[in-house]
Structure 1
Amino acid sequence: MSTFTIGETDFLLDGAPHRVISGALHYFRIHPEHWADRIRSARLMGLNTIETYVAWNAHEPVRGEWDATGWNDLGRFLDLIAAEGMHAIVRPGPYICAEWHNGGLPVWLTGLDGIGLRRSEPQYVTEVSTYLRRVYDIVAPRQIDRGGNVVLVQIENEYGAYGDDADYLRTLVDLTRECGITVPLTTVDQPEPWMLSAGSLPELHKTGSFGSRSDERLATLREHQPTGPLMCSEFWDGWFDWWGGVHHTTDAAASAADLDALLAAGASVNIYMFHGGTNFGLTNGANDKGRYAPIVTSYDYDAPLDEAGNPTEKFFAFRDVIAKYADVPDEVPAPASPAPAFSVDLVATGDWLPDGAGAPHPTLRTFEDEAHLGALMRYDVDLDTVAGSHALLTFDDVRDMAWVMVDGVFVGRLSRSLHERALTIPAGERLTVLVEEQGRTDYGPRLGEAKGLFGPVRLGDRELTGWRSVPIDLADVATSIAAGGATVPTGRTGLRGTFDLAAPCDLFLDTDAWGKGFAFVNGFLLGRYWRNGPQRTLFVPAGATRAGENEIVVVELEQAAPRADFVEAASLGHLEE
């Protein structure tokens, strides 16, 4: 058994001063078959610790249906870290941000009537308590003082930027201790005095989150944490991308210099991210600071280890810095090698949109009303308009993208990102609106907001009522496309094809010839693509492929070429000038 404690100036491992040199890996963003490889690469860069968030909504997307297996096997992930001889830091939230949908909070939770998020509201505290007990059942026996490798557990996440409910934080601390967590507890906030003051408690060890001006930020942190080790527990070495933006990178030498300054000051560090991974499926978050900006599928983050697990220039720059302060293994990860490049002819199977059905409702139903965790929902309403007339169709809000049809004919698209809520439509008998939820906000006051169409909806001066709504299951759509017949590839369509591989391997799917939609390989939802960019490829992990015949299915929302190109390397888009 070992001990890990906080001393007057340092972390203490078995009573001796110890510096934490950590990197972030999110198990829920990495195919489980790649976990061990990514952890090993972290050790080869010189890290002695791995940090991970816990994504509540990955473990419990449906209330009461807890899952800690497969992709959600946190225990196995921590054990693999231990097998590599490394320590672990666990950050269970319950709110994590992380550019992850809904900031990690389950949709069923944020949709509860009267819920008070991230504060001492009874029903929120009750649900959070159940969640944390489940997490701590996994974490507690793996603490370092029980023969495991977990050395730190974080309380909440950057809470000072959101609230100042000390009773809420104390409830989390008390519960954490009741559940047998004995290692030191930390908080993290940006090094702004008001955030550091509001986001912690005297008994918790404060850490900072920043990516530059290390000396200045550490000085601010020291003012609020006068004793114990200084730690930047989110050293931002890159940034995330959003649709319609650019691919963000940071200069490797500049990032390494900031890391050097941080370590030279004697601080501990957690590099965010060491390896970002991918927002597979529908897991991307979104920001909204006056303009809605959904996060792309890739979470490459310009990290030392790229999206496919290859070492970058930043990996070696950071490794050289770490070697000045700690022992670094002689071995390095293998350099990147080109992925197989080939093309696959696809068969267009025609419009995949399910028929409208269901009983009319007096008001519009949200995704939450339908308990729908998917990305798409169909809305229909009868028009009874006068032939030959046109009228202005107006919604109170569209979350987040809507394709509008009259009698089955496409007439226009509305984008939340562009603040579009109205368009002129022709006469007809039925109005159909296909809505895509593009990513749930992960930060700020819009956390937990509902998705769908919001009224009143007016056509001219008349309110439209009697709406019918049909949730669309993407997996069911993909299955129907795979079994569909051939047709002409026009507009919204399904596409399917097959390709052979000698053995499972990582691939990069080029989506540049397509419009907007979702891609599957062997039934595994890779994520979203969009010509809007910046991202131009989808990462296909080897674990989603197989030797022999493989199947690709594309659910296209607008217009796609009937061909799939697999390319040698990722293309994440243009950079800032």
Structure 2
Amino acid sequence: MGKLTTEGRKFLLDGKPFRIISGAMHYWRVMPIYWEDRMIKMKEMGCNTIETYVPWKLHEPKEGEFHFENELDVVKYIETAKSLGLYVIFRPGPYICAELDFGGFPGWLIKDKNIELRSFNEAYLSKVENFFNVLLKYVKPLTSSYGGPIIALQIENEYGAFGTDKKYLNALKDIYLKNGINELFFTSDNPEHHMIQGGSLEDTLITLNFGSGARERFPILDQYQENKPYMVMEFWIGWFDTWGLHHHTRNPVDAAKALDEILSMGASVNIYMFHGGTNFGFTNGANRSLTSYDPTINSYDYDAILDECGDPTQKYYLFRDVIAKYVKGVNTTKKYEPAKKRAYGKVALTEQANLFDSLDQLSIPVQNSTPLPMEKLGQDMGFVLYRSFISGKRKEDSFYIQDVKDRAILFLDQKPIRTFEHDGVKDDFRLAVPPEGYQVDILVESLGRANYGPYMDDYKGITKGVRYQNQFIHDWTMVPLPLNDVSQLEYHEIAETDNPAFYRGIIEIGDVADTFMILPGFTKGIAFINGFNLGRYWEKGPTQTLYIPKNLLKTGKNEIVVFELHGTKQYEIELIDHLVLG
């Protein structure tokens, strides 16, 4: 479609001046039936390019097992862009951040103690190269050198926020070249001196990530890269949300003014995000420091140009007006009607399967002297149930779930006692044990690995042990619960419980359309529609809805399953016709 090069402050496409006006959309967060619709809206706003990351963890969930089907069909995604006349900026990582679990790394990387992430490390780079060799076989024919729409590829991602290992960055570049990829390469970093110094490479275009203040940011870049095109690789127009905080928004007028400032300087831009989509299943990431842990919610609405379900927001029309000042032929009069939604109403949940009665239907238990973290059980995401026995009689003393990641519910003789958050050693919990002792069950949920910063490579589950005072408890049975398949559950009549349970209901649908699930009276858990994991809900918000794209529904009977961790007396959910983001 065209070869991208640079000449002075300009990009050239096949030798002709070209300004990149791009929108970010991640293929795995948007159902394939909607890719074309979102891309058409992107193009009609004035964009000529689409940008996407690549989620290694989803393409290779187990080492050597690769998936490029359905929402992971990156070839179809890029071909769809090409069919609409959009160019593609390709950012394959291997680290991508993207508010994705583990920054896009597969969880199995943690098991190998020889691996040093994001560095010139043979054990790590061999895994990266194995994945890239597979990925790039699909991608190579889609690069501009072979008539495809991919005009630029990123090396790593915001590396200067993490390290300074130029041998590592060059090794990634060499993997591209060995696979016959030779497009315009670039890096992207925040406009801070140490980040640009750490994350840039010679003979590789440096781009910046920021949300405002172009006139102050680009002169910083000039100190490292003279007479090259200005490019904002991530122009942040909104932000992601974390559980328990407010829904982030950005004033549309302010965002449009910041875009105008970028374009007025002759710069190119990638709008992050044009369409955010949804963290279906357990795919969300988290922010983590030494003192805090904040997991990202299921919605990746991001206060983007299109909302979570693909409808244009006010920003769409304001941004279109700005772009029209710099791009000929943009139609600024067209208005979009919201896509069809349906409020199907309340759905009774009429059957129940208690977790403790269903373990054999969900998984195969593992025995070990000490509790093993999720990764050593061959599991990446979801829950693990840990079971042991503590003998009695014992006086009241401290009881610790040491270094638990991330949220644990303690049961004694299958009665819920206490919830521990992230690191149980910090919780002051005391336990007395009767002469007959207790069966100890601990249900641990991974709420998402850190996707950014120096504290990413943490195990999930119980990572250090369980103690009464200073005595570790031994002889554990562990039940991995990735919940990839809940179709084998055996249900019975509803009975009130405070324990984790699956609740099942059926709704008959005639006219299929997008809809949204709300769960008043429920506390925390996940929900499935026809076996598809929609993601997490949590009463503390901010989001209150789970988005259900219409392709997950079918004419006739549809099965809804809710896995509630704390029991409920509200045996119904509701399907409404609008988002509730908080």
Q: TM-score range by the shorter chain?
A: over 0.9
| Aligned match of 1:142 | 142
**Partner secondary structure for residue 374 of structure 2:** coil
Distance 1:359 1:530, change over 3 A: closer
| Aligned match of 2:480 | 471
1:376 aligns with 2:377: no
**Partner secondary structure for residue 376 of structure 2:** coil
1:125 aligns with 2:125: yes
| Aligned match of 1:514 | 522
Matches within 5 A, 1:123-202: 123-202=123-202
What CA RMSD, in Å, does the superposition of the two structures yield over aligned residues?
Answer: 1.8
1:21 aligns with 2:21: yes
| Aligned match of 1:440 | 449
Matches within 5 A, 1:221-236: 221-236=221-236
**Partner secondary structure for residue 369 of structure 1:** helix
Report Cα offsets for 1:352-375 as digits up to 9, x if no partner. 234598564232211011011241
Structure 2, gaps ≥5 residues long = none
Distance 1:549 1:214, change over 3 A: same
2: CA distance, partners of 1:339 / 1:132:
42
2: CA distance, partners of 1:350 / 1:3:
58
2: CA distance, partners of 1:471 / 1:358:
7
| Aligned match of 2:115 | 115
**Matched residue type, 2:228:** G
Matches within 5 A, 1:73-112: 73-112=73-112
| Aligned match of 1:415 | 421
**Partner secondary structure for residue 543 of structure 1:** helix
**Matched residue type, 2:505:** G
Distance 1:461 1:132, change over 3 A: closer
Number of aligned residue pairs: give it: 570
1:460 aligns with 2:460: no
2: CA distance, partners of 1:9 / 1:234:
19
**Partner secondary structure for residue 455 of structure 1:** strand
| Aligned match of 1:532 | 540
1:547 aligns with 2:562: no
1: CA distance, partners of 2:338 / 2:192:
40
- More displaced, 155-164 or 463-472? 463-472
Pick the aligned partner of 2:507 from 481, 493, 499: 499
Report if aligned partners of 2:403, 2:423 keep a CA contact under 8 Å in 1: no
- By how many angstroms is 1:350 displaced? 4.2
| Aligned match of 1:274 | 274
| Aligned match of 2:577 | 568
Report if aligned partners of 1:118, 1:168 keep a CA contact under 8 Å in 2: yes
- More displaced, 238-247 or 144-153? 144-153
Report Cα offsets for 1:544-563 as digits up to 9, x if no partner. 11111111000110133210
Report Cα offsets for 1:418-461 as digits up to 9, x if no partner. 98444223423321111111111111122121111133432134
**Matched residue type, 2:491:** G
Distance 1:495 1:272, change over 3 A: same
Matches within 5 A, 1:293-312: 293-312=294-313
| Aligned match of 1:343 | 346
2: CA distance, partners of 1:455 / 1:161:
29
| Aligned match of 2:407 | 401
1:391 aligns with 2:397: yes
Report Cα offsets for 1:102-142 as digits up to 9, x if no partner. 10011112321221101110011111112122222222211
TM-score (normalised: structure 1) = 0.95
Report if aligned partners of 2:402, 2:423 keep a CA contact under 8 Å in 1: no
1: CA distance, partners of 2:183 / 2:349:
54
Report Cα offsets for 1:503-558 as digits up to 9, x if no partner. 33111101232111010001110001111211100000111111111110001101
| Aligned match of 1:258 | 258
- By how many angstroms is 1:173 displaced? 1.1
1: CA distance, partners of 2:398 / 2:235:
50
Distance 1:437 1:138, change over 3 A: same
2: CA distance, partners of 1:549 / 1:295:
32
**Matched residue type, 1:454:** T
**Matched residue type, 1:168:** Y
- By how many angstroms is 1:56 displaced? 0.4
TM-score (normalised: structure 2) = 0.95
Distance 1:473 1:192, change over 3 A: closer
Report if aligned partners of 1:503, 1:548 keep a CA contact under 8 Å in 2: no
Report if aligned partners of 1:152, 1:183 keep a CA contact under 8 Å in 2: yes
Report if aligned partners of 2:23, 2:51 keep a CA contact under 8 Å in 1: yes
2: CA distance, partners of 1:400 / 1:418:
9
Pick the aligned partner of 2:439 from 418, 424, 430: 430
- By how many angstroms is 1:144 displaced? 2.0
2: CA distance, partners of 1:418 / 1:409:
19
Report Cα offsets for 1:21-51 as digits up to 9, x if no partner. 0000100111111111111111111111000
**Matched residue type, 1:270:** N
Report if aligned partners of 2:340, 2:514 keep a CA contact under 8 Å in 1: no
**Partner secondary structure for residue 440 of structure 1:** coil
Report Cα offsets for 1:253-283 as digits up to 9, x if no partner. 0000000000001100000000000000110
1: CA distance, partners of 2:553 / 2:428:
43
Report Cα offsets for 1:3-22 as digits up to 9, x if no partner. 22111111101211110000
1: CA distance, partners of 2:314 / 2:410:
46
2: CA distance, partners of 1:472 / 1:141:
39
2: CA distance, partners of 1:348 / 1:27:
35
| Aligned match of 2:355 | 352
**Partner secondary structure for residue 263 of structure 1:** helix
Report if aligned partners of 1:516, 1:557 keep a CA contact under 8 Å in 2: yes
1: CA distance, partners of 2:470 / 2:192:
50
2: CA distance, partners of 1:457 / 1:247:
36
Report if aligned partners of 2:526, 2:564 keep a CA contact under 8 Å in 1: yes
2: CA distance, partners of 1:112 / 1:180:
30
Report Cα offsets for 1:382-404 as digits up to 9, x if no partner. 111117x4332113211001110
| Aligned match of 2:337 | 334
Report if aligned partners of 2:235, 2:271 keep a CA contact under 8 Å in 1: yes
2: CA distance, partners of 1:348 / 1:515:
18
**Partner secondary structure for residue 368 of structure 1:** helix
Report if aligned partners of 1:348, 1:489 keep a CA contact under 8 Å in 2: no
**Partner secondary structure for residue 395 of structure 1:** strand
Report Cα offsets for 1:286-335 as digits up to 9, x if no partner. 11122111110000000010000000011111111111111314545433
- By how many angstroms is 1:66 displaced? 1.2
% identical aligned pairs: 38
1: CA distance, partners of 2:301 / 2:440:
40
2: CA distance, partners of 1:305 / 1:180:
35
| Aligned match of 1:317 | 318
**Partner secondary structure for residue 457 of structure 1:** strand
| Aligned match of 2:460 | 451
